[in-house]
Structure 1
Amino acid sequence: MDWTQLMFWSAALATALFVLIRGADIFITGARNCGASLGMSPFAIGVFIVGFGTSLPELASSVAGALSGSTEIVIANVVGSNITNILLIVGVMALLAGRVVIKQELLMTELPLFVIAQMFLVIVIIDGVVEQTEAGFLIILFTAYVWYVLSGTKNNSMIGDERPNFRWRDVLWVVLGLAAVLVGAAYTVEMAVNIATAVAVPIGLVSITAIAIGTSLPELFVTLQAVRSRHTEMAMGNIFGSNTFNALIVTGIPGLLVPLAVDTVVLELGLWFMIAASIMIFVIGLSRQVMRSEGFMMLIFFVFFMYKLAAFI
């Protein structure tokens, strides 16, 4: 093994992830301003633009993986990101905030759709492959999700003087951010494949750890910002929305392009941790709050997940 080459690939992977995440951040800034100037409601901006933007790294890296022939990356990335969002990010948020309140409207809109999305994700991947017809069904389900959210917010759009002026600079940020995301995603996948080949580990292991955690950093940044501003309910909504988006779109779009293989790491370990984490956040959600002690337990569970992954090295 050429350790110099391995260190170079690792540094390149970190750089590609930085470009990917920074591109998503620029995209969110521009798209949020464009949405506000076009009269979108704050809720719709939060659900679709911020939710889509924070999941854009997962989508871009998954599409790049599917197009490059490394289809195992897609499901490993989705499962790893969903586990990270719940156990690591919600855990950190509860630990820092002390107590995270989950509002009733969030339980009425996002939580049921989150559960449905995770349930269908498990159904389509448990046999070891995601067929194109199954991917199409996930996208149809996401379309129903969009209709459901928009139908509940159609009367809450910005009107009159509340709309900011449209600026072409915001469109430029959208284009530049999207370009950075695409470039970062391509190199993220290439470096991940190189590292997995060099150290002779399944590509799914690299995807469910390094890529999944790296592409979940936007959600972590949103969460830390929410804790500082004491708007943790917005961060909880972003977590539910992001995991729903991952399950339906980040799986569905690459799956329409090519059938997706499910790695052994996912089938034997990752899938069951995702199910356990989803049940955990669902039960905690019903209590309408996440306490610091529960956040601490989530972090311990995440560390245990990392420990169990070591068996595949």
Structure 2
Amino acid sequence: MVLAYILGLLVCFILLARIVDQFFIHSLDRISKDLKLSSDAAGATLMAVGSSAPELFVALFAIFKPGEHEAIGVGSIVGSAIFNLLVIVGASAIVRKAKLTWQPVIRDLIFYTISVSLLLLFIWDGSFSLAEAGILLAVYIIYVIAAIYWKRFLPYTDLPFDETKTEEKKKRGIIDVFDQFLGKLFPEKKYYYLVFLQSIIIIAGLSWVLVELAVLISHHFNIPEGIIALTVLAIGTSIPDLFSSMIVAKQGRGDMAVSNAIGSNIFDILVGLGLPFAIYMFIHGGKVGAGDGNLLYSTIILFSSVILLLFLLLFSKWRVGKISGIFLVLLYAIYVVREIIILYI
């Protein structure tokens, strides 16, 4: 049975990768052109919302699951946020060296800092109120507006990208089978709004299956669920972010890749927590617990990661390449190893 679980994980990973590659990015580009969004604004809003849907579904599942499981949703979001900053930005830099436009990066870092600050402030007393959940959602609306109109405050020009770099070699074997299956499942690409919506739904569904399979594997091998949440849960729900960012980074759109990673973190904190908490408290009233003291430590890690990224970008004069990318990925590996050691001590 455990082999079936592992095979299911692999199938989910492949399906996520192909959906993002073949359908999600294409529909995103068409919609962003309709809305006249810059590439970084599209990455910070549409791509972040779509690819962060798994984290939102996990938080919804955790908050409504019988018993006090709020920390599961919060923990998966924190783990995904750290993965986004270190691994996604790092992997995008490894794929292709890029010089970032500082104006949109500064925008995202400002709102990310605000998001983490609000999270720290609201969990200080150990619980969330309906008003606090509403504030999180309101700040995200402001962020979306800022992403769309940021050029009016700090003008900049989108960097050109080379589409020829993304041409694929002829696919063979199992990948062809998956692509043929998905081609029959999705509508024609000219209906890109429907394709975009269907992509989000399937990405969320596959991520939910991925989480469930990971939990089953943890029980089979008697591995603490904390480790599963830190690794499989956080990484699995961030796979759409990783692949979409690597794809656009390969095209030379480094701004969009970085904006997607940071924008996903902003979405996770403001909407991934704010929306489930607001829905739950609107229905049941009262407050929602914010978990134990470990969340405070995780929030500090988030602060540290964004400060590290900022100093790295300033030191490299807004350039990211293989060296900085490998450095970020290694930092995440060290973080995971440390968390595993702490859990077992």
Q: Which amino acid is 2:75 matched to? A: A
Q: Which amino acid is 1:191 matched to? A: L
Task: Give, in whole Å, the separation in 1 of the partners of 2:87 and 2:320.
Answer: 13
Report percent identity of matched pairs.
24
Instruction: Tell whether 2:199 aligns with 1:169.
Output: no
Unaligned segments of structure 1, at least 5 residues: 157-166
In the superposition, the TM-score normalised over structure 2's length comes to 0.72
Judging changes above 3 Å, is the alpha-carbon distance between structure 1 residues 151 and 228 closer, same or farther for their aligned structure 2 residues?
A: closer
In the superposition, the TM-score normalised over structure 1's length comes to 0.78
Instruction: Tell whether 2:42 aligns with 1:45.
Output: yes
Alignment of 1:60-75 (within 5 A): 60-69=57-66, 70-75=69-74
Deviation at 1:138, TM superposition (A): 0.9
Q: Which runs of 4 or more aligned residues in structure 1 lie more than 6 Å from their structure 2 counterparts after TM superposition?
A: none
**Quick check: 1:36–1:45 contact (8 Å CA) kept in 2?**
no
Equivalent residue for 1:180, pick from 195, 202, 209: 202
Judging changes above 3 Å, is the alpha-carbon distance between structure 1 residues 100 and 205 closer, same or farther for their aligned structure 2 residues?
A: same
Equivalent residue for 2:267, pick from 234, 245, 258: 245
**Quick check: 1:73–1:203 contact (8 Å CA) kept in 2?**
no
Which residue is 1:262 aligned to? 291
For 1:40, what is the secondary structure of its paired residue?
A: coil
Task: Give, in whole Å, the separation in 1 of the partners of 2:27 and 2:93.
Answer: 30
Alignment of 1:140-289 (within 5 A): 140-152=138-150, 169-258=191-280, 259=288, 261-262=290-291, 266-268=295-297, 270-287=298-315, 288-289=318-319
**Quick check: 2:49–2:267 contact (8 Å CA) kept in 1?**
yes
Give the RMSD, CA atoms, in angstroms: 3.3
Judging changes above 3 Å, is the alpha-carbon distance between structure 1 residues 95 and 33 closer, same or farther for their aligned structure 2 residues?
A: closer
Deviation at 1:78, TM superposition (A): 1.2
Unaligned segments of structure 2, at least 5 residues: 156-188, 281-287
Deviation at 1:14, TM superposition (A): 4.5
Deviation at 1:250, TM superposition (A): 1.3
Judging changes above 3 Å, is the alpha-carbon distance between structure 1 residues 27 and 107 closer, same or farther for their aligned structure 2 residues?
A: closer
Which residue is 2:167 aligned to? none
Residues 40-83 of structure 1, C-alpha deviations (whole Å, 9 max, x = no match): 33344333212222222222333233333443331112111111
Deviation at 1:112, TM superposition (A): 1.4
For 1:216, what is the secondary structure of its paired residue?
A: helix
Q: Which amino acid is 1:49 matched to? A: L
Q: Which has the higher helix share?
A: 1
Judging changes above 3 Å, is the alpha-carbon distance between structure 1 residues 66 and 284 closer, same or farther for their aligned structure 2 residues?
A: same
Which residue is 1:164 aligned to? none
